[in-house]
Chain A
């Protein structure tokens, strides 16, 4: 009896053990699944939260914009008010009306007051820039004379110039009526005054700052030339950024805020224009090697150029020469008798997406242009011609004339590349669609090419619909 009982009990225990193990396994599995489920719901929860956050952020952004605008107006009031009081108090103290001030105290007062003025100027500049870039600064466009504005700027700077022993000369190389353009005169005056003030600040005594105005059918430009220490090549672009000064230790003595040029750029861009700086190539600078030390300062030229086709206020930051990001399209014929220049220009154009063919003489240009025009549609027609003005054999002038006189080639836009400025060559100017002065700024060349091609595309579109005109408007 007992033996089978033991076996039965044993088996029973075994079953219980097995069941136990199974139960444990099951339990573990269940726990695992629960964990997974938990994880799943966690991630579901997370993504729900993310979506909500995203929605909030979008809402926040427009709130942020509003807040920013409000902030700017608030700052405008809140920062300036205490400064006005400080300035007033310092003025009273240093005037001696409240009792004598000894020389040491007087000196300290002077320091406090100079820095207060700087702070005020800085705040004004920051707010100015912010308002302009956010589009909130109203622009009052009127018909202006660049010469008159330049004259006004020069006159306002005359006292400063005299104190620094600097002579300012103003010359216009433009026909009288070509200096008129559409702009906000106060803003332009602000730019001119700023450029002149910089030129005076950084010029050595007994030197001349020269202001030159030039104009042609396509553009109106103004240059401020100084004979100062110059700007290092790697800083020529960045000086137009905010809070950039060429030599901070030097400029802080001269009281700059570091925003002047950023504001100038903003204003000029709003007017559809371009502003840049280039070093003057002095003789000693051009020839400098270890053997030769240069003396004196060739200086810097600040250039401002307004394209006549741009409309003021069209976009806050229109395509300026410094941000040509659009890829180009089309076949460009480049003509220059200097193979080096041809190579460089071709390289620049190809990098930008254009196809390029080269010509080394006027005759070649005419031949190529005619050939392209006579081919059937599938082969690409020349989109534009870059023509060097100074050519051997058939001159640039003659080449241009022949191109325009022949109906097959007259429609091709021509941009003249010349060391002369357009005002020196008025005859050529009338026939050409664009002008780039050598040595040229690559971005300016690309911008000019882009502009000319756009204008042509527009004109072609218009003329296609207008059956009454017998000529293609170029």
Chain B
């Protein structure tokens, strides 16, 4: 049973993603609605989340910035991060590759297969 932290400023994305992971995979899901809260939530939780699903475009602190800050915290640096982004921005894909995130997932995602996709990208068996 995995523990996932979802960081996204949009409420319906948070809710659908959480619902999807809970109902199809039975994982435990927590959410945060911006980068700063997400950082705090991740750093203070025990045990730490098994993975973090994070939106790229957020007000104040965007995904890549939040990710860089996470890397500076030794507790969080090892947690796999999947960035959630819209497919279109081809240019931005290169930006993400340079960051060092574990994987990139595209919006809109299929709620019925989200858990499966995450497992595939992270090499989890279930």
Q: Which residue of A is nearest B3, CB measured?
A: A283
Say which residue of A206, A292, A293, A295 sits within 8 Å of B45 (CB atoms).
A292
Q: Are A292 and B31 in contact (CB under 8 A)?
A: yes
- A288 at the A/B interface (Cβ < 8 Å)? yes
- A287 at the A/B interface (Cβ < 8 Å)? yes
- Please measure, in the bound complex, the distance between the C-alpha atom of A295 and the C-alpha atom of B22, giving whole angstroms: 8
Q: Can you list, as one digit per residue, whether each of B15-26 has a CB less than 8 Å from chain A (1) or not (0)?
A: 100110011000
Q: Which residue of B is nearest A286, CB measured?
A: B46
Q: Are A295 and B31 in contact (CB under 8 A)?
A: yes
- A282 at the A/B interface (Cβ < 8 Å)? yes
- B30 at the A/B interface (Cβ < 8 Å)? yes
Q: Are A293 and B32 in contact (CB under 8 A)?
A: yes
On chain A, the residues within 8 Å of B30 by CB distance are: 283-284, 287-288, 292-295
- Please measure, in the bound complex, the distance between the C-alpha atom of A139 and the C-alpha atom of B3, giving whole angstroms: 47
Interface residues in B55-87 (C-beta closer than 8 Å to A)? none
On chain A, the residues within 8 Å of B53 by CB distance are: none
- Please measure, in the bound complex, the distance between the C-alpha atom of A288 and the C-alpha atom of B22, giving whole angstroms: 17
Q: Are B18 and A296 in contact (CB under 8 A)?
A: yes
Of listed A286, A291, A296, residue having the most chain B CB within 10 A: A291
Q: Are B22 and A296 in contact (CB under 8 A)?
A: yes
B83 to chain A, nearest CB (A): 19
Say which residue of B28, B32, B38, B41 sits within 8 Å of A296 (CB atoms).
B28
Q: Are B46 and A292 in contact (CB under 8 A)?
A: no
Q: Are B23 and A283 in contact (CB under 8 A)?
A: no
On chain B, the residues within 8 Å of A292 by CB distance are: 5, 30-32, 37, 40-41, 44-45
How many residue pairs between the two chains, A and B, have CB atoms under 8 Å in the bound complex? 56
On chain A, the residues within 8 Å of B23 by CB distance are: 206
On chain B, the residues within 8 Å of A62 by CB distance are: none
Q: Which residue of A is nearest B24, CB measured?
A: A206
On chain A, the residues within 8 Å of B104 by CB distance are: none
On chain A, the residues within 8 Å of B44 by CB distance are: 287, 289, 291-292
On chain A, the residues within 8 Å of B28 by CB distance are: 282-284, 296, 298
Q: Can you list, as one digit per residue, whether each of A286-327 has a CB less than 8 Å from chain B (1) or not (0)?
A: 111111111110100000000000000000000000000000
- Please measure, in the bound complex, the distance between the C-alpha atom of A39 and the C-alpha atom of B29, giving whole angstroms: 80
Say which residue of B18, B32, B47 sits within 8 Å of A283 (CB atoms).
B47
Task: Answer whether A284 and B37 are a contact pair too, CB < 8 Å, given A206-B23, A295-B22.
Answer: no
On chain B, the residues within 8 Å of A296 by CB distance are: 18, 22, 28-29
- Please measure, in the bound complex, the distance between the C-alpha atom of A361 and the C-alpha atom of B13, giving whole angstroms: 51
B79 to chain A, nearest CB (A): 14
Count chain B residues whose beta carbon lies closer than 8 angstroms to a beta carbon of A: 23
On chain A, the residues within 8 Å of B22 by CB distance are: 295-296
Of listed B19, B32, B36, B41, residue having the most chain A CB within 10 A: B41
Task: Answer whether A295 and B29 are a contact pair too, CB < 8 Å, given A283-B45, A287-B45, A287-B46.
Answer: yes
Q: Which residue of B is nearest A294, CB measured?
A: B30
Task: Answer whether A291 and B46 are a contact pair too, CB < 8 Å, given A283-B3, A283-B28, A283-B30.
Answer: no
A391 to chain B, nearest CB (A): 23
B118 to chain A, nearest CB (A): 15
A63 to chain B, nearest CB (A): 60
Q: Which residue of B is nearest A289, CB measured?
A: B44
Q: Which residue of A is nearest B39, CB measured?
A: A291
- Please measure, in the bound complex, the distance between the C-alpha atom of A375 and the C-alpha atom of B11, giving whole angstroms: 69
B69 to chain A, nearest CB (A): 14
On chain A, the residues within 8 Å of B3 by CB distance are: 283-284
A428 to chain B, nearest CB (A): 27
Q: Which residue of B is nearest A207, CB measured?
A: B26
On chain A, the residues within 8 Å of B37 by CB distance are: 290-292
Task: Answer whether A295 and B38 are a contact pair too, CB < 8 Å, given A286-B46, A287-B30.
Answer: no
On chain B, the residues within 8 Å of A286 by CB distance are: 46
Q: Which residue of B is nearest A292, CB measured?
A: B41
On chain B, the residues within 8 Å of A291 by CB distance are: 32, 36-38, 40-41, 44
- Please measure, in the bound complex, the distance between the C-alpha atom of A291 and the C-alpha atom of B28, giving whole angstroms: 17
Q: Can you list, as one digit per residue, whether each of A1-19 has a CB less than 8 Å from chain B (1) or not (0)?
A: 0000000000000000000
Q: Are B41 and A289 in contact (CB under 8 A)?
A: yes
Say which residue of B18, B46, B47 sits within 8 Å of A295 (CB atoms).
B18
On chain B, the residues within 8 Å of A206 by CB distance are: 23
A308 to chain B, nearest CB (A): 34
On chain A, the residues within 8 Å of B33 by CB distance are: 293
- Please measure, in the bound complex, the distance between the C-alpha atom of A131 and the C-alpha atom of B91, giving whole angstroms: 77
B107 to chain A, nearest CB (A): 19
Extra inter-chain contacts (17) besides given A293-B14, A295-B31, CB under 8 Å? A206-B23, A282-B28, A283-B3, A283-B28, A284-B30, A287-B45, A291-B44, A292-B5, A292-B30, A292-B40, A292-B41, A293-B31, A295-B15, A295-B19, A295-B22, A295-B30, A296-B28
Q: Which 9 A-B pairs have the closest CB atoms?
A: A292-B41, A287-B45, A284-B30, A295-B18, A291-B37, A291-B41, A291-B40, A295-B29, A296-B22
A-B pairs with beta carbons under 8 Å apart, 8 shown: A282-B28, A283-B45, A283-B47, A284-B3, A284-B30, A287-B30, A292-B30, A295-B22
Instruction: Write the residues of chain B forming the contact surface with A, with a CB cutoff of 8 angstroms.
Output: 3, 5, 14-15, 18-19, 22-23, 28-33, 36-38, 40-41, 44-47
